[in-house]
Chain A
Amino acid sequence: MQKFTALMQNPVFRKRMIVFGIAKKTVMAAVLAFSMDASAAQAGDYVVDYKKSKVEFSGTHAGNAFTGQFGTWTAVITFDPAQLDTSKIVATFDTNTAKTGNSMYDGTLPQADWFDVKNHAQATFTSTAITAKDDAGNYTAVGDLTIRGITKPATFDFTLSDLAQSPVTAKGSLTLDRMEYDIGKKSDASAEWVSRDIVIALDITATPAPAAE
């Protein structure tokens, strides 16, 4: 502290600091202006209405169907049918919020051989390409799906409602092989109990983000 006080009293240092201070302010202003611009909604940004949206997973266990949902997830969506090149979906799921309502399953899902929530709290999907299948609102998203820290390419089809009317709904599903992500690899690699195919069903409601001012 004494050193600092001495330094502050040094006239040469103070002069330098003033110059630096002005420079810093200028940079700050520039960064601020830029970031404001960047954070402002772009055309095609959508805000997900999480109350009306759900991400379900389903499969079978011992011959019986089970269905669960992710309680907490976020999706950042930029979508413009005219600019599919820059359209993008980035979704993150909190693995410890995956619940089926069956306490037996819900007690097992977070464990090391399944979602391993201690080491992998989140699963993510990042699209790499979105293409239109037709003019009727059917699209295909290709991307990287990461579960348990294992990333594999994943593709799913989705259908959009009329983009001219807000809110917009998107429905789609993909079937994944849980063994590709080592889910239940030690417990049940041969799918004696739990099906290898797990269906992820998306039912998303989103509204276009307010345009930038």
Chain B
Amino acid sequence: MAADNSQRYTTVAIILHWVMAAAFLLMLASGLSMEYLPMEKSLKFNMYQWHKSLGVLLLVAFFIRIGWRLFHKPPALPASIKGLEAVAAKAGHIALYACMIAVPFSGWLMVSSSVYGLPTIVFGWFEFPHFPKIAGNETISAISKNAHWILAWFFGLCILGHIAAVVKHMVIDRENILLRMAPSCARCKKPANAKPE
């Protein structure tokens, strides 16, 4: 089946998807490194600050993305995806969106309630405020730390599931579903009745 533009996400949605995908992968990689890898103290500290900075940008990016999503209907699922598969696709995407806000938000709560009280200075550029009135709150600190850890792992699993689904459609169903979200699609721009060259 040749995809046409009606089956593609809007350019803005595509850009948001890939930029945020890259950013979240960096966040997972840096988060896991800080948690599990032995590391020089200064590198670890800088990585924390960098992780916090990117987290703030992702928190903001979520609202841009959800705003865009609300006003731009995504292309309908391919006709081949139906029944349980369609339900799973819907649930998967809802879970991904939920993680996109829950993970950065729990991180923000974690930083704001931390006994360290370190400010978040986004890439040395501007100070992002702490969540109000929870500075040094040990209960919220403990809860948000656990939540951030669990949610990040859950997010990682959702992303794996998301990628596995794409592979399944491409390999098993032999349907190039990736074209819907591909950065560019030369074929898509041609009229459907164009003769092959």
Interfacial residues, chain A to chain B (CB-CB below 8 A): 61-64, 103-104, 107-108, 111-114, 186-188, 192-193
Contacts and interface: CB of A to CB of B under 8 A. Distances in A.
Given A103-B121, A104-B49, A64 B116 contact: no
Given A63-B40, A107-B127, A113-B136, A193 B119 contact: no
Contacts, number: 44
A8 B46 CA distance: 76
5 contacts: A62-B42, A103-B121, A103-B124, A104-B49, A193-B41
Interface string B115-148: 1111101001001000000011000000000000
B169 interface: no
B65 interface: no
A187 B127 contact: no
A114 B118 CA distance: 11
B116 A187 contact: yes
- B: interface residue count bin: 10 to 19
A107 B45 contact: no
A111 B117 contact: yes
Contacts of B117: 107-108, 111-114, 187
Interface string B3-16: 00000000000000
Nearest to B40: A63
B118 A108 contact: yes
Contact of A104 (B115, B119, B135): B119
B44 interface: yes
A104 B136 contact: no
B77 to A, nearest CB: 47
Contacts of B124: 103
Contacts of B135: 111-112
B132 to A, nearest CB: 15
Contact of B127 (A103, A188, A193): A103
Nearest to A103: B121
B130 to A, nearest CB: 10
Nearest to B116: A187
A62 B45 contact: yes
Contacts of A188: 116
Given A62-B44, A64-B42, A193-B41, A113 B115 contact: yes
Contacts of A108: 116-119
Interface in B166-186: none
B48 to A, nearest CB: 10
Residue with the greatest number of chain A CB neighbours at <10 A, chosen from B116, B119, B121, B124: B116
A186 B115 contact: yes
B118 A104 contact: yes
A193 B45 contact: yes
Contacts of B127: 103, 107
